[in-house]
Structures are given as C-alpha cells and as structure tokens.
Amino acid sequence: MKKVIMDCDPGIDDAIALTVLLAHPEIAEVIGVTTVGGNVTLNYVTQNAKKLLTFLGSKAELASGQAEPLVKEIETAGEIHGKTGMEGYDFPAESEDYPLTSENAVTFIHDKLVASDDKVDIVATAPLTNIALLLKTFPEIHDKIDKIYVMGGSTLQGNITLAAEFNAYVDPEAAQIVFDSGVDVVLSGLNLTENKAFMTMDEIKSIKELGEVGVMASSILDFYASAELEKGMTKIPIHDACAVISMLNPGLFTKSHNYSIDVATTNDQFRGMTYPDRRVYAEEKNSVKVLEDVDRDAFVKYLLDSIKSYS
Ligand code: BDR
Ligand code: CA
C-alpha cells in the first residue's frame, strides 16, 4: 500500500485528479491533501478542496499552504477554471465545516513524513511553492519521500505562453528547486497531457453517465472543456489526472526519458520554460523522469472506471 500526499490548486482538473486518487484506497492511502495558490487564490482553492472532500465523503486531512509563489507575483487561470475555480455544481453546504488541520502545508507535510514508517509519494498538481519550501527547509526528510509525481512544465509546447506551462510559469523558481533537489521526480508535462493523454469530447460527455460522482465531474468539466474548445483545442487534456494515474498505475505509461531540466526564471518571454538538455555529452545537473507516451485508451478507461467506482 502506498502512502500519498496530494498538493493541489483545485481547479477543475485537480478536482478530477483528486477524485481519481480517492477512488483507489486499495492502492494508495491519502495521508494528506494540501493547497497552494495557483489556478485561483488560496482561499478559493482551499474552499474547493473542502467542497470536494465533503462531497466524496473523504476524511483526508487537509492543510492550506502558500498563497504566493516564492519570488514572483501570483498569476491565476480563472478563464479556464471559472472565477472561484470549480463552478458548475452545487456542492453540499456543510463543506464549510470540513476541518483544516493546519494553515502551514510545509510543516504539515514535514510532520506527516516524519511520522510515517514508510516512504511517502507526493503528487503535485499546482505551482511547486509548497514542495520547494519543504525540500529546502527540511533537507533531512528527502529520504522519506519515495517519488514526487509532478504535473508541470513541458518538453515541447507551452500553454500560458508559447514557451511555458502554467504551473512552471507561476513559480519557476520553485520548479527549479524541486528538479534540483535530488528527490526522484516523475513529470507529466504538456508534451504528455496535451499530445498523448487527452480525452475526446465524446469521452468527456460520457462522464455524466457514471453515477452521482460522474454528474459532479461532468458539471465542473463543462466549463473547463468549453474554455479549451474556445481556444481551438479539440483534444481535451485533463492534465492533473496524468500525475495521479502515473503514480497509481505506472504501467500505462509506455515511454519515458530522464533529462536534466532547467527552468527559465527570467521575466521575459521565456519565463517558466522547462528545457531539457538533449546533448549526448550533457553533464547531469538533475535527472527528471519525463513521461513521453501513454496507452491512451487504457488511461481514459482508468479515469472513467475510477469515477464510476463511486456508484
Ligand atoms: C496546469 O495548470 C492548471 O491550470 C491546471 O490545473 C494544471 O495543473 C496545466 O497547465
Ligand atoms: Ca492544477
């Protein structure tokens, strides 16, 4: 049995990812969920986590974390996720009462790692601010982390800019710290999430047939998918679900390559660009496992089956 902490900024695809994660208690015990400012501001992402955990009947401990990136000013993505980050569904009113164990995600994760006899996996589907602070502040707990499964960056196209993926763009300094930390990082970048692991609109539409959780997932996905369609995307990426599924079912990912990756921390058109060193004689500054391909049909089936399993 794996022990897992999920650091996220729900956010619609984060919500789907967390729903998939919590559908698999036979594989992963979720020992904590932490939030960080990203898709929308920290108060909204934390409220959204409460709404989702209440709706799913989870008892996972929740902690809120950093509101702002390490160095840069926060940028949000309301145009994709809606003003509050997770609109379109009437979540239970008692969500407000979901307990917050801590307002310091960094010490919360640290304490969970220290208390665990086994190594813990971290899934990070947001700007890496909390995780970078954790790794810098407590280097002695690096060996309590098995792997960090990150959704972020890209070895090909960007999304927020032509060069950069959103999470890496929002906190590039944090991404660089995490990549350089020496902890094993498994990366689901846009090269995977948009080009290989996308869902078709028909597949997205089929989610509403998957019981009560399916109705919730499809209601929040409606806004997200139409925003992607409006941008001209016909293949819909559920980015953050890739990071979760790469942890739950790594065998679905058919190709990967380890690269030394740098992140542009400049304030120009390259900000947040994650560029792998492809030189054969490259000196390894770090080694990030970049996922490059997936059995897409099996991936989509896994996602849909996970949602269906609640009914
Ligand atoms: C990433 O950015 C956010 O908008 C999504 O939740 C995902 O984590 C995709 O670039
Ligand atoms: Ca996210």
Instruction: Tell me whether residue 257 is one of the annotated catalytic residues.
Output: no
Kind and range of the H or E element at 262? strand 261-263
Token pair, residue 206, equals: 């089929």
CA distance 12 to 118: 31
User: Tell me: the pLDDT tens digits for 93-120?
Assistant: 999 999 999 999 999 999 999 999 999 9
Question: What does CATH list as the number for 2-308?
Answer: 3.90.245.10
Catalytic residue among 24, 81, 110, 239: 239
Token pair, residue 160, equals: 């927020």
Token pair, residue 63, equals: 């902690």
Give nearest CA residue, ligand 1 atom 4: 39
- Choose one of 19, 80, 151, 220 to mutate for the ligand 1 pocket test, by most ligand atoms within 8 angstroms of C-beta: 151
| 167 C-beta closer than 6 A to ligand 1 | yes
Q: Tell me, what's the pLDDT at 227?
A: 85
| 166 C-beta closer than 6 A to ligand 1 | yes
Q: Tell me, what's the pLDDT at 231?
A: 86
Q: Tell me, what's the pLDDT at 203?
A: 96
Ligand 1 atom with minimal separation from the 126 CA: 8
Question: In sequence order, what DSSP letters do the residues of 28-68 get, joined into one string?
Answer: EEEEEEEE-SSSS-HHHHHHHHHHHHHHHT----EEE--SS
| 262 C-beta closer than 6 A to ligand 1 | no
**Segment-wise mean pLDDT, segments of 10 residues, the chain, 311 residues:** 98 97 98 98 98 98 98 92 90 93 98 98 98 98 98 97 98 98 98 97 96 96 88 93 98 97 97 95 92 98 98 93
Ligand 1 atom with minimal separation from the 81 CA: 4
C-alpha torsion 57→50→174→244, nearest 10:
20
**Whole-Å CA distances, 281 to 41, 278, 284:** 42, 9, 9
| 80 C-beta closer than 6 A to ligand 1 | yes
Distance 83 CA to ligand 2 centre (A): 15
| 191 C-beta closer than 6 A to ligand 1 | no
pTM of the model: 0.98
Token pair, residue 128, equals: 């890496």
Q: Tell me, what's the pLDDT at 160?
A: 96
**Whole-Å CA distances, 46 to 18, 109, 111, 220, 276:** 13, 16, 20, 16, 33
Ligand 1 atom with minimal separation from the 12 CA: 6
